Amino acid sequence: MEEELQVSKKLLKTLTVETRTDILKSLEIRPMTASELSRKLDKHVTTVSEHLDVLKESNLIERVERPGRKWIYYKLTKPGENIVRPHSFKLVFVFITIFLTFVGGLCIITANTYPGHWLYPIERARENLQLLLATNNLQKATLHTQYAEERLEETKKVVENGQPGMVGEVIKDYENEVNQATKEIQIAKQKNQNIVPALETLSESAAKQKSILKNLAIKSPEVEKEIQPALNISEESHDMAVAELINITGSSEYNTSITHNSAPISCNIP
């Protein structure tokens, strides 16, 4: 008889991070080392190790040290095996959906959340859940593009709230969302999927993001240094998307949308 699948708040928090569920799915195939998982998931080994520690604390995986061998392997525990079984996996996310919908309802009452707000972790958990439930790379690319815009809105919010020290962290999250959107599109391309809609969405969003970043730098010169790398990434993703669109469609209508990396933002207004 299968062990009962216990769904706790700790388990919900553990599973609402995409990388951790990817690790569980990978370990369903066979035990792996942190280095193997790093290569398979295209994540830095330090990042993978941190997620492995969380999964181990949640009793979903265990370390396997083989006598005479220096490599440490990780494998699923019985609760971990239950999680990755199709039926159990769906069951867990039913609980997650109910939990986050209930708690997330508070976000509507308190309007938009932002970094530092007590409900912000719940909002980010809801985003991770949406990514986990996405059925293909193009859906994930669209979500990451949407989240990139939300990170910029949050950047504006923390500046307005007099918290410029938090800008660097939010901008890093923004950069990660843009990079992930680009990565998912490239994976979809390798699978011969129609990436044109996702590229159009990315190019339009990147153009909007550039405008937001420039305006924010002008209005708040104290965060210019943190914003410059994000502006570079938004321009690179925009140009990449436009170039791909021209290459795929052969249409010249996208030519006018191509931009080139600008000089650093100048906020010194005479």
At 149-193, the pLDDT tens digits run: 999 888 888 888 888 788 888 898 999 899 999 999 999 999 999
- Report d(CA 177, CA 6) in Å as an integer: 32
- pLDDT-derived band at 102 (thresholds 50, 70, 90) equals low
Provide the number of structural domains found in the chain: 2
Residue 228 located in a structural domain: yes
Q: How confident is the model over 105-129, as pLDDT tens digits?
A: 544 444 467 787 777 777 777 787 7
Domain span at residue 38 reads 9-84
Instruction: State the burial class of residue 148 (Cβ atoms within 10 Å of its Cβ: 0-12, 13-18, 19+).
Output: buried
Token pair for 198: 């996702």
> What is the gyration radius of the CA atoms in the chain, in angstroms?
21
Residue 100 located in a structural domain: no
| Residue whose C-alpha is closest to residue 145's, from 214, 43, 213, 234 | 234
> The dihedral of CA 157, 163, 169, 172: what is its sign?
positive
Residue 99 located in a structural domain: no
CATH of the domain at 43: 1.10.10.10
**What is the structure's pLDDT at 263?**
39
Instruction: Look at residue 264 and tell me whether its pLDDT is greater than 70.
Output: no
230 Cβ contact list (under 8 Å, min separation 6): 171, 174, 175, 213
**What is the structure's pLDDT at 106?**
47
pTM value surpassing 0.75: no
CA distances from 121 to 17, 27, 77, 107, 115 (A): 12, 27, 28, 11, 8
CA distances from 53 to 59, 60, 191 (A): 10, 10, 33
Residue 162 located in a structural domain: yes
Residue 211 located in a structural domain: yes
Residue 170 located in a structural domain: yes
